[in-house]
Amino acid sequence: MGYSVQIKNLDLSFGAVEVLRDLNLDIHDGEFLVLLGASGCGKSTLLNCIAGLLEATDGQVFINGRNVTWEQPSKRGIGMVFQSYALYPQMSVKGNLSFGLKNAGVPRSEIEDRVGRAARILQIEELLHRRPAALSGGQRQRVAIGRALVRDVDVFLFDEPLSNLDAKLRSDLRVEIKRLHQRLKNTMIYVTHDQIEALTLADRIAILRDGKIQQLGTPDEIYNRPLTKYVAEFIGSPTMNFFNGRIEEGVFRSRDLEIELDGYQWSGEASSGEAWLGIRPEHVASANAASNMPYSTEIEVELYEPMGSDTLVWTFIGDQSFHFRLDGQIKVSDGDRLSIGFDIRRGSIFDKKSESRL
């Protein structure tokens, strides 16, 4: 499999502020890659460097094997969809879709073909003669995607395209974008701070922090084997539980807590010393199932949050706050006592100082 986009030793600074630092990234042909991270981590900046909207301080950008580092955005063979729809209000949907093609001198018959194809794919054929003011937010974003689609390029760049939509529309359009990728099989690079979008859309996810990639992997790798404590905290809602303690002779010890580490898959040789032990709330068993877990204990419900399909329960284990999920049909009340347990094989252990996975 070849590479569609390659980023080599990319730096970008605004004065004394370093935004991207010696960043390297290879994106495969036809891959859906998501750039994920908190605000200010550099994900949109990286996308803008790929698009040519920002000039890199150092390093190179290759698209389909061609060095485009110094080329104009229009010459890079990319289509871009922004967070804001940026539609021309005085033009119809058809006018918005065809405007760039007309300026590029594309023949009228080809423009008609491209616009018709994009409208069919995005299911906006009946909207072609409306103006943006007569469209819903989801319809406007479809038109914005269509404007990139008619360019007939190999690489599509999405900069948080669903951020301005309500939750229902975000969910609907997320499915549409996934279907679009399955149908077109083009390379897509997608920026978001929403982990649900990342996990559901991506072939691979690159998690950025302070201008560097913390981890690059499949959604399964990112979720089940986070390489750093930051990645483990960032992925998952609610976030992973962490116990602060020490590893001594194959046992994790914390105040009022002692857990055998038999079966844990170490990244290298088994370690000792100060560490964090992480357990996801959804990996905690309760009631009768807890007794079958390698580690089990009894807790008192401090508070609970009903969410319909499941219930989030907050408690303490020793002096450390702990939360876990229950099936939404299980009834609990504040002060209830429950048996819970978990399997360390589904946990994550991180070095206290470096915060890297052990």
> 56 and 167, same structural domain?
yes
Percentage of residues in the chain having pLDDT higher than 70: 100
pLDDT digits over 232-245, tens only? 999 998 999 999 99
Contacts of 98 (CB under 8 A, 6+ apart): 111, 115, 150
Largest CA distance in the chain: 75
Q: What is the pLDDT of residue 93?
A: 92
Of the two residues 256 and 230, the one the predictor is more confident about is 230
- 124-142: average pLDDT: 90
118 plus 260 within the same structural domain? no
Q: Each residue of 284-315: b (16+ CB within 10 Å) or e?
A: bbbeeebeebebebebebeebeeeeebbbbbb
Residues 43 and 187 in one domain: yes
Closest among 278, 332, 326 to 303, alpha carbons compared: 332
Residue 52 pLDDT: 94
- Most confidently modeled range among 36-50, 75-89, 143-157, 263-277: 36-50
The pLDDT of residue 176 is: 87
Q: In which element (H, E) is residue 182 found?
A: helix 167-184
What mean pLDDT value characterizes the chain? 92
Amino acid at 242: F
218: phi then psi, degrees, rounded to nearest 5: -70, 160
Domain total of the chain:
2
Does the pTM surpass 0.85? The reply is yes
Flag whether 100 is in a domain: yes
Judgement on whether residues 133 and 276 belong to the same structural domain of the protein: no
Q: Which of 59-63, 71-75, 256-260, 287-291 is the most confident on average?
A: 59-63
Q: Are 183 and 121 in contact (CB under 8 A)?
A: yes
> Do 145 and 243 fall into the same domain?
no
Q: Write the DSSP string, 280-349.
A: -GGG-EEGGGGGGSSEEEEEE--EEEE-SSEEEEEEEETTEEEEEEEETTS---TT-EEEEEE-GGG-EE
The per-residue pLDDT for 74 is 86
Supply the pLDDT for residue 234.
Answer: 94
Output the pLDDT for position 345: 94
Q: Are residues 210 and 250 in the same domain?
A: no
| In a domain? residue 356 | no
Residue 133: is its pLDDT beyond 80? Answer: yes
Rounded CA-CA distance 125/142 in Å is 11
Look at residue 68 in the predicted model and tell me its pLDDT.
96
The domain containing residue 29 runs over which residues? 3-226
Residues 216 and 243 in one domain: no
What confidence category does residue 103 fall into, taking pLDDT thresholds of 50, 70 and 90?
A: confident
Q: Taking the CA atoms of the chain, what radius of gyration do you get in angstroms?
A: 24
Say whether pLDDT at 188 is over 80. yes
Q: Nearest CA to 339 among 313, 358, 306, 305? A: 313
pLDDT over 90 (residue 281): yes
| Domain assignment present for 268 | yes
Instruction: Give the span between the Cα atoms of 269 and 81, in whole angstroms.
Output: 46
- Residue 243 sits in a domain whose CATH number is 2.40.50.140
Whether 258 and 221 map to the same domain: the answer is no
| 153 shares a domain with 69 | yes
Query: Distance between CA atoms of 33 and 49, rounded to whole angstroms?
Result: 16
Domain membership flag for residue 358: no
Query: Is the pLDDT reported for residue 286 higher than 80?
Result: yes
- Same structural domain for residues 142 and 286? no
Domain boundary, last residue among 193, 210, 226: 226
Q: Give the pLDDT confidence of 201-228 residue by residue, as tens digits.
A: 999 999 999 999 999 999 999 999 999 9
- Of the pLDDT bands very low, low, confident and very high (cuts 50, 70, 90), residue 112 is very high
Do residue 277 and residue 178 come from a single domain?
no
Of the given ranges (13-27, 65-79, 139-153), which has the lowest mean pLDDT? 139-153
- Going by their DSSP bridges, the two strands 204-209 and 32-36 should be labelled as parallel
pLDDT for position 342:
95
Of 226, 259, 284, the last residue of a domain is 226
- The answer to whether residue 35 scores a pLDDT higher than 90 is yes
- Report the pLDDT averaged over residues 70-94: 88
Long-range contact set of residues 84-91: C-beta below 8 Å, sequence gap at least 24: 84/164, 85/132, 85/140, 85/141, 85/143, 85/144, 85/164, 86/144, 87/132, 87/140, 87/143, 87/144, 87/147, 88/132, 89/131, 89/132, 89/133, 90/131, 91/131
- Same domain membership, residue 212 and residue 249: no
Give the CA dihedral 164, 166, 168, 171, nearest 10 degrees.
30
Confirm whether 39 is domain-assigned: yes
Q: What is the pLDDT of residue 83?
A: 79
Would you say residue 90 lies in a domain? yes
Q: How does residue 163 score in pLDDT terms, banded at 50, 70 and 90?
A: confident
pLDDT for residue 200: 95
Would you place residue 173 in the very low, low, confident or very high pLDDT band (cuts 50, 70, 90)? confident
Q: Is the pLDDT of residue 151 over 90?
A: no
**Domain containing residue 164: CATH number:** 3.40.50.300
Task: Reply yes or no on whether the pLDDT at 12 is more than 80.
Answer: yes
Among 204, 226, 248, which residue terminates a domain? 226
From the number of C-beta atoms within 10 Å of its C-beta (0-12, 13-18, 19+), residue 178 rates as: middle
Beta carbons of 355 and 272 less than 8 angstroms apart: no
pLDDT digits (tens, 9 = 90+) for 302-358: 999 999 999 999 999 988 899 999 998 888 999 999 999 999 999 999 999 999 999
pLDDT for 270 beyond 80: no
CB 351 within 8 A of CB 267: no
